[in-house]
Amino acid sequence: MTFFEQEAKSRKLSRRMTLMFLLSALITVLLWHACIAAICLAAADGDTFGQAYLQVLLNPELLGIDVAVLGGLIFLSYLFKSGELKKLGPEGIAASLSGTCISRSTEDLYERRLYNVVEEVAIAAGIQTPRVYMMKGEKSINACAIGHSVEDAVVCVTAGAVERLTRDELQGVVAHEIGHIVNSDIILNYRLIGVLFGIQVITIVALTIMRMGISGLSNRTYRSKSDSKAALAILAIVVVTAVLCAIGWLGSFAGNLISLAISRQREYLADASSVRLTRNPRGLAGALMKIGCPSVGSAIQAPKSVETAHMFFSSVFSSSFLTELQQTHPPLLKRILAIYPSFQGEFPQYVDLLREEELREEDASARSARIAALTGRSDATFSDQDQGDVHVDQPTNADIDHDYVEPEAGIHKPILPDKTTPVRDQVEPEESTPPRLAGQLGGALPATLDSFLTTKESARAVIYALVWDRRSEISRRMHMILTSHDTPEVLRIFPTALKHVGSLTKNLKLTAARCASPLLKSMTREEYQRFRQALIALCQTDARLDLFEYTLQVSVLRDLDVYYRVSRPISVRYRHFHDVAPEVNIVLSTVAHCGELYYGDAHGAYDAAWSKLPGDATLLPKAQCQLNSFSVALNKLAYVSSELKEKILDACRTCVVYDDYVTEEEDALLSAIHASLGVPAPVWK
């Protein structure tokens, strides 16, 4: 299942959930209105009861007031709860679950193992590594993903999972949580909590009114006929509010069942995503089997786990009295059989803890093979069904100069100098090499660089080193920029960072940037502003911006801009293809010229790509395919709907694989397109 199919299914479920909640809220409002009308019975004579009730029930003004009051109450409660969760933040929620943040520099073997696994799976998924938390007091096997978006996501794993699961099994669990992040389930979880709280407020308000009425009845003495009538009125209010309380409870119960059903379906989808990311169903199945062990389980002791139960990998409840409809997760047996049909239904009776000797064997030199296995880069092949599989070979050295672009809220736009050169001008067709598919891509980072990336200072130094120009005059100016923008500590370790990245391919440089990005989230807002200014200034020191520098800026700064609230999250503005057809033409023409190996290839690739899009268009000349116009077009395309993004990216991939030969320059273009459109990079198969 592709990213867009997963997102479409998520949207479909979200719409269905919204409709069900709205229907429940509407029924609740109408019943509320009917009960309010019944309050008039207390003051009406028996002869006028029917007439008075009918008048109140059909009174449009009172109906409008009831709808506005109750609807407003639900909506304000939803906003309050959402704001409370947002203020608490993913880190706060993780801390409330007894989670401890794990840094990349940790020396604890178990913590280091967990961080490495999360980082490896994130690389395979094409997202920045989320922050990692370990629930050290929890000895069961469980995990959860928390966050408002991909940019601020947190993965929280129990100590029991890290200490009891093999590496393949831990990868399966982590990939399940990364699947939740990629599928936008973390956003859905926050909305579920907010809407359910809004419906529950009805019960809370009705219960409060009922208690006040009972208190009034118990404290009142009845000496006259008027007092008796008042007592009857209060009694009627108590009865009506009791009915309202029951209605609110039923609404909450129905809403909770709906949310649980959606949560169970999302678990199946995340399991499928885990298998797709790791290509190893036995890993995830093995973790689920160990959860079925009577002495292990998945119960969480932290009190806050009840409120966030649907966010976890497996059920947080230790008891089994709940029916399947009331469970937050599908039964273990069903989940295992869905991904591993040969399972015989026998859960282990005992699970050993891992020994430290076993962890020490997982040294850094093995990470390259593990990432290669996750990304499938060792024996990759292309097919039309492979959604975005990109393979890189033979680096190119094109330098591309372009115009300045004004930034726009919502997405980072690199600062581009004042020159215009076609994207492909300095890349000559390789006539001696026939078109072929590249077979190898770099895997993990070198061990020395991997161990160097441990702090926010080392991360900044590595990012600077990735765009460093070794020519003496330009290098001197770059050093002046660093001196004026960053700290002495970064300047001290910068030569070491420069040495580590000097021999990396462009593909591995992007991997290094992706590994460094999570460390950059530990900066203060002021530090990030200085880092951002320094990076942009370094890229424009030589008065031109090449494609790699552009891709690096987009990949690193886009998510960080949203995280530090420098720019707003992207929202949908364009839903019809004709609104963005000129921009799509610019992007496809740029990609076609970029990958042209022989004369005429660009036209063939362009025509094959445009055949997947509506309407007609013509390949633009090379002179119009500049990085400046390419950047402007991408920034507009970032605001299109998911359906259009899927079509555009499918066309771009078709254009790239047309000649069965993909260069690093084409890979950089695809990376920039994916990053600009806010879509996770394609998973390798």
Active site residues: 177
Beta strands in 360-463 (DSSP E): none
Using DSSP, state whether 134 is helix, strand or coil. strand
For residues 299 and 318, the answer to whether their CB atoms sit within 8 Å is yes
Bridge partners (DSSP) listed for residue 154: 131, 146
Q: Beta strand pairing status for 99-102 and 131-135? A: antiparallel
For residues 442 and 511, the answer to whether their CB atoms sit within 8 Å is yes
For residues 419 and 402, the answer to whether their CB atoms sit within 8 Å is yes
Q: Residue 478 half-sphere exposure, CB side, CA atoms within 13 Å?
A: 25
Sign of CA dihedral 60, 61, 65, 68: positive
Q: How far is CA 260 from CA 192, 248, 338, in A?
A: 10, 18, 19
For residues 608 and 654, the answer to whether their CB atoms sit within 8 Å is yes
For residues 307 and 241, the answer to whether their CB atoms sit within 8 Å is no
Tokens encoding 231: 């007592």
Bridge partners (DSSP) listed for residue 102: 132
For residues 196 and 255, the answer to whether their CB atoms sit within 8 Å is yes
The closest of 497, 486, 502, 493 to 537, measured between CA atoms, is 486
Residue 574 gets which letter from DSSP?
B
Neighbours of 571 (CB within 10 A): 8
Cα three-residue angle 561-567-568, rounded to 5 degrees: 120
Tell me, letter by letter, the H, E, C secondary structure of 250-318. HHHHHHHHHHHHHHHHHHHHHHHHHHHHHCCHHHHHHHHHHHCCCCCCCCCCCHHHCCCHHHECCCCCC
Q: How far is CA 134 from CA 92, 140, 142, 156, 599, in A?
A: 13, 12, 10, 6, 56
Using DSSP, state whether 477 is helix, strand or coil. helix
CA–CA distance, 527 with 486 (Å, rounded to integer): 8
For residues 213 and 238, the answer to whether their CB atoms sit within 8 Å is yes
The closest of 116, 119, 97 to 312, measured between CA atoms, is 97
Cα three-residue angle 607-545-676, rounded to 5 degrees: 55
Bridge partners (DSSP) listed for residue 145: 155
Q: Residue 471 half-sphere exposure, CB side, CA atoms within 13 Å?
A: 5
CA–CA distance, 416 with 338 (Å, rounded to integer): 50
Hey, what amino acid is at 398?
Answer: A
